[in-house]
Amino acid sequence: MERSKKMVLLCHCILNANSKVEGLSRFQGAIGEVVTLLIEKGIGMIQLPCPELLNHGIKRWGQVKSQFDTPYYRESCQQLFKPYLHQLKDYMKNGYEIVGLVGINGSPTCGINRTCDGVWGGEWKTSDVWKEKIDTIEVKYEKGVFIEEIQELLKLNNIELPLYGLDESCLEESIKGLRLFIEMEESSLSNNK
Ligand code: SF4
Protein backbone atom coordinates (compact mmCIF):
# COMPACT_ATOMS: atom_id res chain seq x y z
CA MET A 1 0.00 0.00 0.00
CA GLU A 2 1.27 3.45 -0.90
CA ARG A 3 1.94 5.94 1.87
CA SER A 4 -0.55 8.81 2.12
CA LYS A 5 2.16 11.44 2.59
CA LYS A 6 -0.18 13.17 5.05
CA MET A 7 0.51 14.02 8.66
CA VAL A 8 -0.83 16.00 11.59
CA LEU A 9 1.03 17.49 14.51
CA LEU A 10 -0.45 16.51 17.86
CA CYS A 11 0.17 18.15 21.19
CA HIS A 12 2.03 15.68 23.35
CA CYS A 13 -0.67 14.66 25.85
CA ILE A 14 -3.08 13.50 23.13
CA LEU A 15 -0.81 10.48 22.76
CA ASN A 16 0.50 10.47 26.32
CA ALA A 17 -1.95 11.70 28.96
CA ASN A 18 0.68 10.95 31.63
CA SER A 19 2.33 14.29 30.82
CA LYS A 20 -0.63 16.29 32.14
CA VAL A 21 -0.70 17.92 35.57
CA GLU A 22 -1.51 15.10 37.99
CA GLY A 23 -5.24 14.85 38.63
CA LEU A 24 -6.24 16.61 35.40
CA SER A 25 -6.48 13.82 32.86
CA ARG A 26 -9.34 11.39 32.60
CA PHE A 27 -7.58 9.35 29.93
CA GLN A 28 -5.58 6.27 30.87
CA GLY A 29 -2.88 6.62 28.27
CA ALA A 30 -3.83 8.20 24.95
CA ILE A 31 -7.02 9.73 23.53
CA GLY A 32 -7.96 6.65 21.55
CA GLU A 33 -10.69 8.42 19.55
CA VAL A 34 -8.12 10.75 17.97
CA VAL A 35 -5.76 7.89 17.19
CA THR A 36 -8.56 5.75 15.69
CA LEU A 37 -9.74 8.63 13.49
CA LEU A 38 -6.26 9.35 12.18
CA ILE A 39 -5.52 5.67 11.52
CA GLU A 40 -8.84 5.39 9.68
CA LYS A 41 -7.90 8.43 7.56
CA GLY A 42 -4.38 7.11 6.88
CA ILE A 43 -2.79 10.18 8.42
CA GLY A 44 0.57 9.97 10.22
CA MET A 45 0.95 11.47 13.71
CA ILE A 46 3.83 13.67 14.80
CA GLN A 47 3.90 14.05 18.58
CA LEU A 48 5.11 17.47 19.72
CA PRO A 49 7.01 17.75 23.02
CA CYS A 50 5.25 18.85 26.22
CA PRO A 51 6.84 22.20 27.23
CA GLU A 52 5.32 22.18 30.73
CA LEU A 53 6.62 18.70 31.53
CA LEU A 54 10.09 19.47 30.17
CA ASN A 55 10.36 22.81 31.99
CA HIS A 56 8.54 22.04 35.23
CA GLY A 57 8.34 18.26 35.57
CA ILE A 58 5.52 15.90 36.43
CA LYS A 59 5.13 17.27 39.99
CA ARG A 60 4.22 20.76 38.71
CA TRP A 61 1.08 22.56 39.89
CA GLY A 62 -1.64 23.54 37.45
CA GLN A 63 -0.67 27.04 36.30
CA VAL A 64 -2.18 29.85 34.26
CA LYS A 65 -1.05 31.59 31.09
CA SER A 66 0.40 34.71 32.73
CA GLN A 67 2.78 32.48 34.73
CA PHE A 68 4.11 30.94 31.54
CA ASP A 69 4.25 34.27 29.75
CA THR A 70 7.95 34.83 30.42
CA PRO A 71 10.77 35.45 27.94
CA TYR A 72 12.50 32.25 29.09
CA TYR A 73 9.46 30.01 28.63
CA ARG A 74 8.65 31.56 25.25
CA GLU A 75 12.25 31.06 24.10
CA SER A 76 12.15 27.48 25.38
CA CYS A 77 8.92 26.85 23.42
CA GLN A 78 10.60 28.12 20.25
CA GLN A 79 13.66 25.93 20.86
CA LEU A 80 11.44 22.88 21.41
CA PHE A 81 9.54 23.48 18.18
CA LYS A 82 12.54 24.15 15.93
CA PRO A 83 13.42 20.48 15.21
CA TYR A 84 9.77 19.94 14.18
CA LEU A 85 9.87 23.02 11.97
CA HIS A 86 12.89 21.52 10.20
CA GLN A 87 10.98 18.27 9.64
CA LEU A 88 7.93 20.13 8.30
CA LYS A 89 10.04 22.09 5.84
CA ASP A 90 11.72 18.94 4.56
CA TYR A 91 8.45 17.01 4.27
CA MET A 92 6.73 19.90 2.48
CA LYS A 93 9.63 20.41 0.08
CA ASN A 94 9.29 16.75 -0.90
CA GLY A 95 5.55 16.71 -1.56
CA TYR A 96 4.25 15.63 1.83
CA GLU A 97 1.25 17.42 3.35
CA ILE A 98 0.78 18.63 6.89
CA VAL A 99 -2.98 18.62 7.42
CA GLY A 100 -2.85 20.69 10.62
CA LEU A 101 -1.94 20.91 14.26
CA VAL A 102 -4.23 19.66 17.04
CA GLY A 103 -3.92 21.43 20.40
CA ILE A 104 -5.74 21.25 23.72
CA ASN A 105 -8.32 23.93 24.42
CA GLY A 106 -8.07 25.40 27.90
CA SER A 107 -4.34 24.77 28.28
CA PRO A 108 -2.17 27.81 29.13
CA THR A 109 0.49 26.29 26.87
CA CYS A 110 -1.30 24.36 24.11
CA GLY A 111 -4.73 26.07 23.94
CA ILE A 112 -5.95 26.95 20.45
CA ASN A 113 -9.28 28.78 20.93
CA ARG A 114 -9.09 29.28 24.65
CA THR A 115 -6.70 29.26 27.53
CA CYS A 116 -6.92 29.99 31.26
CA ASP A 117 -5.60 32.90 33.30
CA GLY A 118 -5.90 34.44 36.73
CA VAL A 119 -4.01 36.23 39.50
CA TRP A 120 -1.99 33.15 40.33
CA GLY A 121 1.34 32.73 42.12
CA GLY A 122 3.01 33.67 45.40
CA GLU A 123 2.65 31.95 48.77
CA TRP A 124 -0.31 29.68 49.50
CA LYS A 125 -0.18 29.59 53.28
CA THR A 126 -3.82 29.82 54.36
CA SER A 127 -7.06 28.46 52.94
CA ASP A 128 -8.32 32.08 52.46
CA VAL A 129 -5.48 32.87 50.08
CA TRP A 130 -6.08 29.60 48.26
CA LYS A 131 -9.74 30.41 47.68
CA GLU A 132 -9.03 34.04 46.75
CA LYS A 133 -6.61 32.92 44.05
CA ILE A 134 -8.85 30.16 42.70
CA ASP A 135 -11.68 32.72 42.35
CA THR A 136 -9.56 34.76 39.94
CA ILE A 137 -9.31 31.94 37.37
CA GLU A 138 -10.91 32.89 34.07
CA VAL A 139 -11.22 31.55 30.55
CA LYS A 140 -9.50 33.65 27.92
CA TYR A 141 -10.31 33.19 24.26
CA GLU A 142 -6.74 33.20 23.04
CA LYS A 143 -3.94 30.75 22.33
CA GLY A 144 -1.57 29.18 24.81
CA VAL A 145 2.09 30.26 24.91
CA PHE A 146 3.52 27.28 22.97
CA ILE A 147 0.95 27.70 20.18
CA GLU A 148 1.67 31.45 19.97
CA GLU A 149 5.39 30.74 19.61
CA ILE A 150 4.75 27.99 17.03
CA GLN A 151 2.63 30.43 15.03
CA GLU A 152 5.37 33.03 15.21
CA LEU A 153 7.96 30.58 13.83
CA LEU A 154 5.61 29.34 11.11
CA LYS A 155 4.88 32.92 10.06
CA LEU A 156 8.58 33.73 9.85
CA ASN A 157 8.95 30.71 7.55
CA ASN A 158 5.84 31.49 5.44
CA ILE A 159 4.10 28.28 6.47
CA GLU A 160 0.35 28.26 6.95
CA LEU A 161 -0.79 25.52 9.25
CA PRO A 162 -4.48 25.15 10.18
CA LEU A 163 -5.07 24.68 13.92
CA TYR A 164 -7.74 22.64 15.69
CA GLY A 165 -8.45 22.86 19.43
CA LEU A 166 -9.56 19.60 21.01
CA ASP A 167 -12.01 20.05 23.88
CA GLU A 168 -11.60 17.16 26.29
CA SER A 169 -14.67 18.18 28.33
CA CYS A 170 -16.98 17.34 25.38
CA LEU A 171 -14.90 14.80 23.54
CA GLU A 172 -17.59 13.26 21.37
CA GLU A 173 -18.50 16.62 19.79
CA SER A 174 -14.87 17.55 19.56
CA ILE A 175 -13.97 14.38 17.66
CA LYS A 176 -16.82 15.07 15.21
CA GLY A 177 -15.34 18.57 14.77
CA LEU A 178 -11.89 17.09 14.24
CA ARG A 179 -13.21 14.77 11.52
CA LEU A 180 -14.79 17.74 9.71
CA PHE A 181 -11.61 19.80 10.13
CA ILE A 182 -9.50 17.00 8.61
CA GLU A 183 -11.90 16.46 5.71
CA MET A 184 -12.02 20.19 4.94
CA GLU A 185 -8.25 20.58 5.09
CA GLU A 186 -7.71 17.47 2.96
CA SER A 187 -10.07 18.80 0.31
CA SER A 188 -8.46 22.24 0.32
CA LEU A 189 -5.01 20.62 -0.02
CA SER A 190 -6.15 18.54 -3.00
CA ASN A 191 -7.81 21.62 -4.64
CA ASN A 192 -4.51 23.48 -4.37
CA LYS A 193 -2.58 20.75 -6.21
S1 SF4 B 1 -1.65 20.60 26.96
FE2 SF4 B 1 0.45 20.88 26.26
S3 SF4 B 1 1.60 21.50 28.06
FE4 SF4 B 1 -0.33 20.63 28.78
S5 SF4 B 1 0.15 18.49 29.16
FE6 SF4 B 1 -0.65 18.63 27.08
S7 SF4 B 1 1.19 18.82 25.83
FE8 SF4 B 1 1.80 19.29 27.93
Query: How distant is the alpha carbon of residue 72 from its chain centre?
Result: 19
Pocket test for ligand 1, best of 45, 59, 69, 104 (most atoms within 8 A of CB): 104
Question: In sequence order, which residues have a C-beta less than 8 Å from that of residue 94 and are 6 or more positions away?
Answer: none
Q: Which helix (H) or strand (E) holds 117?
A: strand 115-117
Asked if the structure places residue 26 within a domain, the reply is: yes
Work out how many domains the chain is built from and give that number: 1
Q: Give the residue whose CA is nearest to atom 5 of ligand 1.
A: 20
What Cα–Cα distance (Å) separates residue 106 from each residue in 69, 143, 144, 150, 190? 15, 9, 8, 17, 32
pLDDT per residue rounded down to tens, the chain (193 residues):
899 999 999 999 999 999 999 988 788 899 999 999 999 999 999 999 999 999 999 999 999 999 999 999 999 999 999 999 999 999 999 999 999 999 999 999 999 999 999 988 888 777 778 888 888 999 999 999 999 999 999 999 999 999 999 999 999 999 999 999 999 998 888 887 7
What does the alpha-carbon distance between residue 161 and residue 155 come to, in Å, rounded to a whole number? 9
Pocket test for ligand 1, best of 9, 18, 20, 59 (most atoms within 8 A of CB): 20
What confidence score (pLDDT) does residue 132 get? 83
What confidence score (pLDDT) does residue 146 get? 98
Q: Distance from the CA of 190 to the center of ligand 1, in angstroms?
A: 31
Pocket test for ligand 1, best of 12, 56, 167 (most atoms within 8 A of CB): 12
Asked if the structure places residue 56 within a domain, the reply is: yes
Asked if the structure places residue 123 within a domain, the reply is: yes
For residue 109, which atom of ligand 1 is closest to its CA?
A: 3
Which residue intervals of the chain are DSSP H helices?
12-15, 32-41, 51-56, 65-68, 71-93, 127-134, 145-156, 171-191
Pocket of ligand 1 (CB under 6 A): 11-13, 19-20, 50-53, 104, 107, 109-110
Q: Which domain holds residue 24?
A: 6-191
Asked if the structure places residue 1 within a domain, the reply is: no
What confidence score (pLDDT) does residue 150 get? 98
What confidence score (pLDDT) does residue 38 get? 98
Tallying the residues shown for the chain, one arrives at 193
Asked if the structure places residue 111 within a domain, the reply is: yes
For residue 53, which atom of ligand 1 is closest to its CA?
A: 8
Asked if the structure places residue 79 within a domain, the reply is: yes
Q: Distance from the CA of 150 to the center of ligand 1, in angstroms?
A: 14
